[in-house]
Amino acid sequence: MEIWRIDVEKQTLSRELVPDSWMRLGGRALLAQIMVDEVPPTCLPLGPDNKLIFAPGLLVGHMLSSCDRISIGGKSPLTGGIKESNAGGRTGFQLTNLGIKALIIEGKPQGDGSWLIHLSSAGVRFEKAGDLSGLGVYETASRLLNLFGKQVAISLIGPGGEMELRSAGIQNIDKDGVPSRIAARGGLGAVLHSKGAKAIIIDASGGSKPPLVDEKAFRAAQKVYNKALLGHPQTHTYADYGTAAMASMCNAYGGLPTRNFSTGQFEKVDQLSGEHMRQLLLERGGESETTHACMNGCVIRCSNVFGGKDGKAIVSPLEYETIGLMGSNLGIGNLDDIAKLNWEANDLGLDTIELGAALGVAAEAGLMEFGDGKRALELVDEIRAGTLLGNILGNGAEATGRELGIERVPTVKGQAMSAYDPRAIKGTGVTYATSPQGADHTAGLTIRADVDHTDPKGQAELSRDAQIKMAGYDTLGACLFSGFGYAVSTSSISDLLNARYGWDVDEEILRELGRVALKLEREFNRGAGFTAADDRIPKWMTEESLSPSNAIFDVPEEDLDSLFNW
């Protein structure tokens, strides 16, 4: 494996040996190590000193179920701290099949041109993006697949990234050629644009899977893991209902963000539930299937293709987070409206969580009535039109609150919360508060723990454990849901790593990798100026109680401050 380093100013590629200290890292932890080693933490996120890094996880490249994810990151223009955002799709797999352990994009182009960066076994090639500039993600991806072949992987941005909006993500092609797997959070789409690129095309056709030191042992471990994963009941829930299954559960806990995080239950939740979605999908038939896989080899198939009344796909996938932030959080109880908003956000290349939260704040400021899906779409149109209001919404919930004078803004470190109100699901609130990534459920979700989620006691321990494990999974390139399998078959991870790399690690390796990642991320953020004061849930959520549980966020600050003392 090699490090590929692209200088976008000189348009050159340097292929380098992997330094010893990077050798045993991958994905999120490798990304953090590169950031600490090479990027000044006080640099401008959109300036020449920031780097955009693509690092496949340690297990990526072998179609191991839900373990081919790509970590993308750099310094976030949204949070001002380190950012790792990971996604499924083809990108991670194809990078490893070109022998790339990490792709580092650095420098700043001289002019304003927009480029396509093409990677293959022949090296790098820069082509002018030409009339692809300004096009939406769906049309761009379709044209790129026609230009470069249906089999390539693509990471690309939409108009939101081209406008360098702080909620712009980087879309990745899924196994079916749809650009739906977004490294959504933290404004990395703006960073890719600051490097002068509209898209990165990865053609691994001349490459091969990364070597396995002990193929037989790897296949054996894979079998055990697959069996554990398939045997877990949750896998089947997701296969049937997708992540939307979470809506009813979160509502029952009183933690479903509703009308800009004003209440924790939504009277129309039944219209948003996974059960209702499945029923709609089955009724509508056509192109729709109830759920599908985002990566080859995945047995969970949590994703879905949401079809309209005519059976034609509106958007794929419609995820729980989007339903929460663009549905209940906006008072919208209609999956068709949400799917349209989702399509627009995807096509613009924006994070639906951040945008949904921003629209919630805008609604509180009077720019729309809660529940008015048509008006919400008009507001999203402002983003596409590049109006000032559009810029602000596209810059996220905090910018929207600041410029419209709203203090009830659901963010930590400048990043919007996901669809779990931290007052009702306090462990996840601890994660929001303390994660170096800013508010983000994927940094350590606690909702499945069998505890009283409104009791402040013990939540820090729960979050710590979840954050360490998730940072570990993100380092492996493993999806959150792969944990269902790994939790049952506890030796699978070390067995797979030992077979892949010839290592001799034990079951503790997941946590070891997670701790390394978190420690490095904290180090970067300290250099960028973050302190304990940034590890806080917004003050208003510590004072305003959430109906119906009447909970406030009351995990003691000492618990937050000692989270990383392990």
Asked if 526 touches a second copy (CB under 8 A), the answer is yes
Out of 143, 402, 511, 519, the residue judged to bind a second copy by CB under 8 A: 402
Segment near a second copy (CB under 8 A); pick from 239-247, 450-458, 488-496, 536-544: 536-544
Which amino acid, 270?
D
Nearest to 553, CA basis, from 435, 450, 453, 468: 453
Pairing of strands 100-106, 52-56: antiparallel
CB atoms within 10 A of CB 554: 16
Q: What is the DSSP letter of 71?
A: E
CB of 129 to a second copy, least distance (A): 19
Among 228, 528, 541, 555, binds a second copy (CB under 8 A): 528
Shortest Å distance, C-beta 7 to a second copy: 18
Q: Which of 25, 27, 28, 41 binds a second copy (CB under 8 A)?
A: 41
CA distance 338 to 359: 13
Question: Which residue, 297 or 386, has its beta carbon nearer to a second copy?
Answer: 386
- Exactly one of 540, 554, 561, 564 binds a second copy (CB under 8 A); that residue is 540
| Comparison of 49 and 465: residue with beta carbon closer to a second copy | 49
Kindly determine how many residues on this chain lie close enough to bind a second copy according to the rule CB under 8 A: 32
527 lies in the site for a second copy, by CB under 8 A: yes
CA dihedral 275, 278, 280, 285 (to 10 degrees): -170
Q: Which stretch binds a second copy (CB under 8 A): 115-123, 211-219, 292-300, 391-399?
A: 391-399
With CB under 8 A as the contact rule, the residue among 355, 536, 546, 555 that binds a second copy is: 536
Strand 100-106 vs strand 82-87: parallel, antiparallel, or unpaired? unpaired
Supply 485's token pair. 């399998």
Query: Residue 215 CB, nearest distance to a second copy (Å)?
Result: 48
Question: What DSSP string describes 414-470?
Answer: TEE--SS-TTTSHHHHHHHHH-TT-S-GGG---TTSSS-TT--TTHHHHHHHHHHHH
CB burial class (10 A; 0-12, 13-18, 19+) of residue 227? Answer: middle
Q: Does 407 bind a second copy (CB under 8 A)?
A: yes
Query: Contact between 404 and a second copy (CB under 8 A)?
Result: yes
Q: Is 397 in the site for a second copy (CB under 8 A)?
A: no
Should residue 17 be labelled a site residue for a second copy when binding is judged by CB under 8 A? no
Return the residue of 260, 395, 411, 463 that touches a second copy, per CB under 8 A. 395
User: Per the structure block, which two tokens stand in for 7?
Assistant: 């200088």
DSSP lists the bridge partners of residue 181 as 172
Interatomic CA distance for residues 217 and 521, integer angstroms: 33
Picking from 325, 379, 315, 382, the residue whose alpha carbon sits closest to that of residue 353 is 325
Site string for a second copy, 324-363 (x = CB under 8 A): ----------------------------------------
Please state at what angle helix 373-385 crosses helix 352-364, rounded to 10 degrees: 110
Tell me the C-alpha distance between 419 and 253, whole Å: 12
Among 164, 174, 203, 421, contact with a second copy (rule: CB under 8 A): 164
Contact segment (CB under 8 A) with a second copy among 424-432, 455-463, 470-478, 521-529 equals 521-529
CB of 445 to a second copy, least distance (A): 26
- Chain residues binding a second copy by CB under 8 A are 41-44, 46-47, 49, 163-164, 388-389, 391-392, 395, 399, 402-405, 407, 526-534, 536, 539-540
